[in-house]
Structure 1
Amino acid sequence: MADIGGERPLSAWLRAAWGSPAEVRAVEVEGAIVRYRGWGLDQTDKPGLILAHGVLAHARWWDHIAPHFVGRYRVVAPDFTGMGDSGRRPAYSRAQYARELIAVARHAGLRDVASVAHSFGATPALHAAMIEPRLFQRVIAIDARVFHDHTGKELPRQEERSYATLDEALSRYRLIPPSAGVDPEILAYVARHSVLRGDDGRWKWKFDPATLVPNDRAGMVREMSFRRLPVDLIRGGASAFLTDEHIASFRRHMPACGDPVEVPMANHHVLLEQPVALLAAINGLLSRPHPEEEARPPSEAKRCQAFGRRSRVMPRLEHWNVRTFDLPATIAFYEDVVGLRSGHFPGRLGSGAWLYDDAGVPVVHVVRLDPLQRDREMARLAERLGELASTIDLEYAGSGVVDHVAFACDDLVGMRARIDQHGLPYRLAEFPHLGLVQILVNDPNGVTLELNFREAAAPSAQAAPA
């Protein structure tokens, strides 16, 4: 850019953004403090926007970009634990970082959240959108190769280093991977906010070297793969980090991903190298709904808007819980017959499961009961439910006073084939005047499911052999 009146237009643009005041807040997440910067948080009628940084970076990488979204969004940029100004942990994981994004969004009171995540930050952003689909509406990943073949190696372990002076520390600041395309003003700004002075008077990097230890990335990738998450991908036009092969892998694993958007003359660190072009690319994507957003469960705010109400609408069914003495058989039924998919379960391994629909919404919560410890299981229910537990009989199977639980389904022929394959009795009924075909089938615990197929062509209603 040419100088105008003695100051470069980029310098004036940066100075205005960096001069925009940010509110700093903190929330404790599972024993560690997560700090985040916020802009326009008092505009409670606006949707939310979370900006997630990359590995060894920090929230202030977004300081020259975040203020430009104020007026349309309530914007937050968190520091992941072990980086920036957030606290440290004994150990780190990307799943933990996903929970930190969720906690920050809730603490800031955000709704209808869009996440924009650079590189490393894309994995926790996608995972957060998977496990909290009513909170996160879409994700924009920037130069992120989330689904590339992974050998288990992370960045080399760094030792905690310190320097006698601030100038010495700043002279050692390097980007990973290297980049020669970052404006000196931007590089100096992020470098200055990457160091702190210790109690001994020496200067050191804010990041914890333990964040580079191999962790749970591979498991998270398997869990997220092939889900129809509303995601877009931005790449640096000159990036050697995100190749065409990486993009093909990303789109294969994220079938709802839109066409990649390229930022010319940018390498991997797009938000530092071409911030103005990146801002235009993000605005272009956010200016239109992602096609997959239509399939996301609506937030309460959107439901209020749809009903023309300013206050809370009636409660919605969120999920139901099944208690079972046979966890594997129950999971197999809901996966193999109904077509749900088991996914993220925050409880102890083997104690239960969550089953998700094709929009990534958890709809069935299964809790395992120990058949050899029935008295103990009853005592646990009594502790949780109090006098409400007096009506529960663990020996009784079936839907009880709940007649059935219903699913809206597709592929009547395929569903019948799966049920027949498992040798399950069922009843099928037609309601031509409603354009409806129903299948009634019991799960392994005797809970009756009503599987509804609308606009389906079906043979005459008949009972299948028991």
Structure 2
Amino acid sequence: MASHRKLRIVSVALIALLLIAAALLWRNPYALISGDFTRQRIAAGLSKAHVQVGDHRWVYAYSDDAPEGAPVVVMLHGFTGSKENWYPVARRLQGRYRLIIPDLPGWGESGRIEGADYGFYAQSDRVADFIDAVAGEGVVLLGHSMGGGIAALTAARHPKQVTRVGLLDAAGVRFNDNRFGEDVLAGRNPFAVSDEASLQRYLDTVFEDDATKPVIPWPVDGIYIERRRRDAAFEQRVLDRIGRGEERFLPGEAAADIRQPAMLLWCRQDAVIDLSALAIYGERMPQAQRVLLDGCGHMSLVEQPDAVAQAVIMLIERGRGR
């Protein structure tokens, strides 16, 4: 009888926990996704913090587990991305350098202000202020895609804050025509997600290696799709500015003023920022080491994190201490 009573107590407790979980998910369905992000962050050895810089609240992942005097590495995500995109690379750099990985203002968990400018120029100023507030010294600045354009502008316009810069599949130059670029110039958002078909199209566009594409099971897929629907107007406004507005080529123009040691990394099969962009940036940054990866698309930092981490280490260690 005692064992039956214990079994009933355990059953009631489990039912209560399930009801509580269901209530929490009903109030905040995105908790399923944020919970997995937390798992990924912890696996990468990262903590999470927030800071108010100017008008925006920044949320960022970080690790201070590094030798004394180790360089500080700041990583910027791309359009429709978030800090979590960098976790595979961070996992391979953790313990070697101090790491700071923010959600850019307007994206992820960081603040968004209605009507604010989230283009290349404004974001580069915000990044410089963020570096001052969080790192307090010159940093190694890495940027992917849109974040690469922001990183290029930041390095050129705020050289005291950036000692070295790495641009990965970076936006901000007039690359050879591809379907993605043609859609952007036509006023469309090729990354827009509104249903299962467009979600699959989005993943197929940014990933070349099927084995690295994230698996998004039910009901997470519906939760993600709904969030992207709500963000559609914001995404379009940002893309209008950085993809076909007057400042769309500002990063490439500013790249000629970058004097710091630099690294340019591209994937041969990038269907978003065509490989021709590597040569354009390279002409304006002759000091930059060039890294070309094969078998990956736009998401090099997820598809080939080992190779990306090694390229970052080469950038940081080249000539260091001499």
Q: Distance in 2 between matches of 1:265 and 1:219?
A: 30
Q: Distance in 1 between matches of 2:68 and 2:143?
A: 23
Q: Aligned pair 1:268/2:298, yes or no?
A: yes
Q: Aligned pair 1:40/2:72, yes or no?
A: no
Q: Distance in 2 between matches of 1:193 and 1:287?
A: 41
Q: Which residue of 2 aligns with 1:66?
A: 90
Q: Which of the pair is proportionally richer in strand?
A: 1
Unaligned runs of 5+ in 2: 1-38
Amino acid at match of 1:62: W
Q: Distance in 2 between matches of 1:246 and 1:159?
A: 19
Q: Which of the pair is proportionally richer in helix?
A: 2
Which residues in structure 2 correspond to 1:258-337 (within 5 Å)?
258=289, 260-289=290-319
Change (3 A) 1:169 1:66: farther
Amino acid at match of 1:276: D
Using the size of structure 2 for normalisation, the TM-score is 0.68
Question: How much has 1:49 moved relative to structure 2?
Answer: 0.2
Any idea what the Cα deviations from partners look like across 1:360-414, whole Å, max 9, x if unmatched?
xxxxxxxxxxxxxxxxxxxxxxxxxxxxxxxxxxxxxxxxxxxxxxxxxxxxxxx
SS at match of 2:282: helix
Q: Which residue of 2 aligns with 1:213?
A: 240
Q: Which residue of 1 aligns with 2:227?
A: 204
Q: Aligned pair 1:183/2:207, yes or no?
A: no
Q: Distance in 2 between matches of 1:220 and 1:277?
A: 25
Whether the 8 Å CA contact 2:57–2:110 is kept in 1: the answer is yes
Q: Distance in 1 between matches of 2:203 and 2:303?
A: 12
Aligned partner (choices 132, 139, 158) of residue 132 of structure 1: 158
Amino acid at match of 1:234: L
SS at match of 2:173: coil
Aligned residues: 267
Question: How much has 1:192 moved relative to structure 2?
Answer: 6.1
Q: Which residue of 1 aligns with 2:282?
A: 251
SS at match of 2:306: helix
SS at match of 1:213: helix
Whether the 8 Å CA contact 2:41–2:61 is kept in 1: the answer is no
Any idea what the Cα deviations from partners look like across 1:296-346, whole Å, max 9, x if unmatched?
xxxxxxxxxxxxxxxxxxxxxxxxxxxxxxxxxxxxxxxxxxxxxxxxxxx
Change (3 A) 1:183 1:29: farther
Any idea what the Cα deviations from partners look like across 1:37-65, whole Å, max 9, x if unmatched?
11226876322101111111111011222
Aligned partner (choices 252, 256, 263) of residue 232 of structure 1: 263
Larger Cα-atom Rg: 1
Q: Which residue of 2 aligns with 1:95?
A: 121
Percent of residue pairs identical: 21
Q: Distance in 2 between matches of 1:141 and 1:53?
A: 11
Q: Distance in 2 between matches of 1:194 and 1:69?
A: 33
Q: Which residue of 1 aligns with 2:169?
A: 143
Which shows bigger deviation, 60-69 or 217-226? 217-226
Amino acid at match of 1:59: K
Q: Distance in 1 between matches of 2:85 and 2:194?
A: 22
Q: CA RMSD in A?
A: 3.9
Q: Distance in 2 between matches of 1:49 and 1:140?
A: 10
SS at match of 1:174: helix
Q: Distance in 2 between matches of 1:27 and 1:281?
A: 30
Unaligned runs of 5+ in 1: 1-14, 197-201, 295-466
Using the size of structure 1 for normalisation, the TM-score is 0.49
Q: Which residue of 1 aligns with 2:133?
A: 107
Whether the 8 Å CA contact 1:239–1:267 is kept in 2: the answer is yes
Amino acid at match of 1:138: R
Q: Distance in 1 between matches of 2:131 and 2:223?
A: 26
Change (3 A) 1:20 1:227: closer
